Structure formats: structure tokens, C-alpha cells
């Protein structure tokens, strides 16, 4: 809005601020790899040069090029005031006053109700972490690690005890994976800095592997496979999934990929952390099994952990529709692409609370021990707007992956 209360023409600069006002059509025209604009709370930002430096990665922020990114921005940034110092230099203007605040298929009533729910959960303290929960979780990981070593040291390395300790250590590694996931989502400490610092310790010294599992299916997988967009024949992934993903994802793909990434990016800090894991591991187990035996023992532990990780993460994603997202509002998009597995003490522990996948996707920075508190509120909101809220048994979730 210019001086005298007259509307500005699209793209016309604001003489007072040196910035322009834009229509949605103009914003949408800037969605190529080298030319990217996005909208946050009606403000228009040019992220073309900055996207590669985005802490969350180029692909995540580029996904919203030419779109309204207000809801994902609120979901992934627990400290908006801190982020403003990065946004300010990128600000080029705002939407024309006659333009709607959101684009395309988004439902304004749903968006407003979800915004109200988010504010309500903040007021209820559901974004506040309980330090005791995470201390106990870390403690039980360390206890499992120590237990496995003590068993081998005291009773020896028979095949039976070796298998038992493999299961114990795979359990410790899986639980460490859920713990690093907590820090990676900035859901433990108020300050992002401390989440990042402890995350490096957990993922570097306790784990060494990154718990992220991309997947594609349906239209996208066929497109990738037939047109050779990616290296893998994704259009045939239903044929090789069981032979590749559960047994090989962590012991082969993640180990190789992460090492390549750290070296190619010259990330010497992360590489140093990972070296501390291997030094600790071989120092503990070479006396029992020798160098070669320790390597086989390590690969077998990762083999067991990989099955655990793949089945847990995919049962809330793979059976769901994950085609192009059609620019839906945050609530409907997450409910369409994820489902929950019914809660219980075992299910919560076994899955690292990712059985509350709906709540985790809606509130990615919320501490997981609060998911069971927000779940009834999310379900009520879904019922109000006629959105399906899926909850399955653990066995049904696993069976759906096979199906």
C-alpha cells in the first residue's frame, strides 16, 4: 500500500522501503533451480543465492520456491526471532494487499484452526522438553552398551553369547538413533546451538550413521525409474525392497554414503567424531574377536539395526500416498502422507515415539514425550474438518509395508 492509501501495481517498488509488492503469479514465476522466491506471512523473499547455504539443506527450502512457506517455516523454526536476521537481507517486498495470504488449494479455515492449535500447544507447554526423560533414555543406551561388553568379558565369546550381545548392541544403536533424531529436530534444548552440539556427540560417537530414510513410490518412482532420472530402478523397487532396504541400508549404504559426504564436504569435525566411535568400538572388541572378527561383529550389529530402522520408519510412510503434494495446507498434507501406530509402552519405546508419526510431522520440534498429549487435540481438529486420522496396530503397519 503506497502513500495516500492507493494500491500499488504488481512489482511496483515501495518508495519508502525500496521494496516491491507482488501478485501470486509473479511469485510462482520464480520457481526454477536458479531463480527462487517464496512467501512467509505475506512477505516475499528472494532465496536464489542463499538456498545453498540453508542449514536445513537446499532441497528442503527449494521445495517451496514459488509457494507460500508460512506453515513449514513455523513448523521447523522454534526460534523465529533468531531466524529473522537471516531473512531480513532476503526480503524483497510483500504480497499485493488484494492478494490472498495463501496459494492454490489451501483451506483458510483449516489453516487458521491449525494455527490456533499450535498456539494452544505452546501455551500448554507441550514444546518444553523434560530433561529427565532424555537423561534416562541416554542412560539406558549406555547401560546396554556396558552390559554387552561385560557379558563377553565375564562369560566369553561363544556363538550364543555373541548372538545375544549382537541383539543388545543393535538395540542400543537403534535407541541411539531415536535419540539423535530428537536432537536433530531441535526438540530437546531451547537453544538450537546446544541441540547441534549434543547431536554431534550422539550421532558421531554413539552411532556414526544418520537416521534419515528417503523413499519414493507410485508416480514418482515410475517416473524416476522409466526416465532414468536417478541411478536406481525405482519403478521396480517393490521387487528388490526386501533384499536391499532392510538388510543393507545401514551397514552398506549409510556407512559408505556418510563417509563420502563428510570427506567431500571436508567436514573434519563430524569426521573426527565418527573416528571416536570406531576407536572406542575396536578398543572394546578387538581383544575378544580380533580385527577381522570385530569387523564382522560390527556389520552383523548394523544388519540387525537396519531391519529395525527400516520397518519402523516405513510403516508410517510407505503405505500412504506420497505423490506430488499439490500445495495443500500443512494439516491435510501431513495427514494424507502419514499414519500412526497405536500407542503402548512397548510401541513407544520400540519406535522412538515415531508411532505418533502424524503429530511428529505436524510439530517436528515438539519433544516426543508430549505427542500423546497433543494427539487427542489433533484428532479432534481432524474430525471437525472431515480429515481421516489413521491409527493402525503395529502388526497391521508392518503388514501394509509388505502389501
CB 133 within 8 A of CB 59: no
Residues 6+ apart with CB under 8 A from 8: 1, 2, 14, 20, 21, 96
**What does the pLDDT look like over 57-116, one tens digit per residue?**
888 899 889 999 999 999 999 888 888 888 999 999 999 999 998 887 788 999 999 999
- pLDDT for position 74: 92
**What does the pLDDT look like over 209-264, one tens digit per residue?**
654 444 434 444 444 444 555 566 767 777 888 888 888 888 888 888 888 888 99
CB 305 within 8 A of CB 246: no
Query: Which residue, among 297, 195, 213, 221, has the nearest Cα to 253 in the 3D structure?
Result: 213
Query: Residue 317 and residue 391: Cα distance in Å, rounded?
Result: 12
- pLDDT for position 161: 98
Q: Give burial (CB, 10 Å; 0-12/13-18/19+) of 288.
A: middle
Residues forming a β-bridge with 22: 95
- pLDDT for position 325: 55
C-alpha cell at 176: 541411539
CA angle (309, 313, 316) in 5-degree steps:
155
How does the average pLDDT of the chain come out, rounded? 87
More confident residue, 401 or 368: 368
Residues forming a β-bridge with 37: 46
Residues forming a β-bridge with 19: 14
| pLDDT value at 3 more than 50 | no
Q: How confident is the model at residue 324 (pLDDT cuts 50, 70, 90)?
A: low
Q: Are strands 37-40 and 13-14 parallel, antiparallel or unpaired?
A: unpaired
Helix (H, G, I), strand (E, B) or coil at 47: coil
Average pLDDT over residues 160-185: 97
Could you give phi then psi for residue 43, rounded to 5 degrees? -85, 140
C-alpha cell at 16: 519508502
Which range among 18-22, 320-324, 347-351 shows the weakest confidence by mean pLDDT?
320-324
| pLDDT value at 17 more than 80 | no
Q: How far is CA 339 from CA 215, 291, 324, 333, 358, in A?
A: 16, 43, 18, 12, 6
Tell how far CA 383 is from the center of its chain.
26
- pLDDT for position 223: 44
Query: Residue 403 and residue 397: Cα distance in Å, rounded?
Result: 10
Query: Which residue, among 88, 126, 43, has the nearest Cα to 371 in the 3D structure?
Result: 126
More confident residue, 324 or 371: 371
Q: How far is CA 1 from CA 5, 12, 22, 67, 70, in A?
A: 6, 10, 11, 22, 21
Query: Residue 313 and residue 305: Cα distance in Å, rounded?
Result: 12
Query: Residue 349 and residue 175: Cα distance in Å, rounded?
Result: 8
| pLDDT value at 21 more than 60 | yes
| pLDDT value at 46 more than 90 | yes
CB 157 within 8 A of CB 289: yes
| pLDDT value at 187 more than 50 | yes
* H or E stretch covering 19: strand 19-22
- pLDDT for position 322: 62
Quick count: other Cβ atoms within 10 Å of Cβ 316? 26
Amino acid at each position: 500500500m503506497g502513500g495516500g492509501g492507493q494500491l500499488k501495481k504488481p512489482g511496483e517498488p515501495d518508495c519508502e522501503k525500496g521494496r516491491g509488492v507482488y501478485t501470486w503469479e509473479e511469485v510462482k514465476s520464480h520457481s526454477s533451480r536458479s531463480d527462487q522466491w517464496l512467501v512467509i506471512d505475506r512477505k516475499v523473499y528472494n532465496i536464489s543465492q542463499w538456498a545453498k547455504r540453508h542449514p536445513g539443506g537446499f532441497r528442503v527450502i527449494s521445495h517451496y520456491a514459488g509457494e507460500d512457506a508460512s506453515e513449514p517455516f513455523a513448523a521447523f523454526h522454534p526460534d523465529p526471532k533468531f531466524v529473522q536476521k537471516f531473512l531480513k537481507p532476503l526480503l524483497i517486498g510483500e504480497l499485493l494487499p488484494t492478494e490472498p495470504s495463501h496459494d492454490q488449494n489451501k483451506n483458510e479455515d483449516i489453516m487458521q484452526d491449525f494455527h490456533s492449535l499450535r498456539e494452544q500447544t505452546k501455551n500448554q507447554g507441550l514444546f518444553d522438553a523434560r530433561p529427565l526423560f532424555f537423561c534416562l533414555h541416554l542412560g539406558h543406551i549406555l547401560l546396554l552398551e556396558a552390559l554387552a561388553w561385560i557379558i563377553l568379558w565375564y562369560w566369553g565369546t561363544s556363538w550364543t553369547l555373541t548372538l545375544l550381545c549382537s541383539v543388545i548392541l543393535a538395540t542400543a544403536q537403534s535407541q541411539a538413533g531415536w535419540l539423535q533424531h530428537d536432537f536433530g529436530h531441535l526438540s530437546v534444548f531451547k537453544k538450537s546451538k546446544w541441540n547441534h552440539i549434543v547431536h554431534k556427540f550422539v550421532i558421531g560417537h554413539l552411532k556414526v550413521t544418520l537416521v534419515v530414510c528417503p523413499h519414493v513410490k507410485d508416480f514418482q518412482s515410475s517416473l524416476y525409474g522409466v526416465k532414468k532420472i536417478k541411478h536406481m530402478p525405482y519403478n521396480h523397487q517393490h521387487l528388490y525392497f526386501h533384499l536391499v532396504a532392510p538388510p543393507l541400508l545401514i551397514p552398506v549404504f549409510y556407512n559408505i554414503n556418510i563417509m563420502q559426504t563428510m570427506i567431500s564436504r571436508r567436514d573434519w569435525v563430524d569426521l573426527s567424531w565418527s573416528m571416536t566411535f570406531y576407536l572406542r568400538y575396536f578398543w572394546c572388541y578387538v581383544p575378544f574377536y580380533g580385527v577381522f572378527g570385530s569387523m564382522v561383529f560390527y556389520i552383523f550389529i548394523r544388519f540387525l539395526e537396519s531391519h529395525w530402522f527400516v520397518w519402523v520408519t516405513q510403516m508410517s510412510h510407505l503405505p500412504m500416498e506420497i505423490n506430488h503434494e499439490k500445495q495443500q495446507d500443512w494439516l491435510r498434507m501431513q495427514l494424507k502422507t502419514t499414519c500412526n501406530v497405536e500407542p503402548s509402552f512397548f510401541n513407544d519405546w520400540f519406535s522412538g515415539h515415531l508411532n505418533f508419526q502424524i503429530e511428529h510431522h505436524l510439530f517436528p520440534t515438539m519433544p516426543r514425550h508430549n505427542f500423546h498429549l497433543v494427539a487427542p487435540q489433533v484428532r479432534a481438529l481432524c474430525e471437525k474438518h472431515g480429515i481421516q486420522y489413521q491409527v493402525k496396530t503395529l502388526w497391521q503397519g508392518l503388514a501394509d509395508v509388505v502389501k
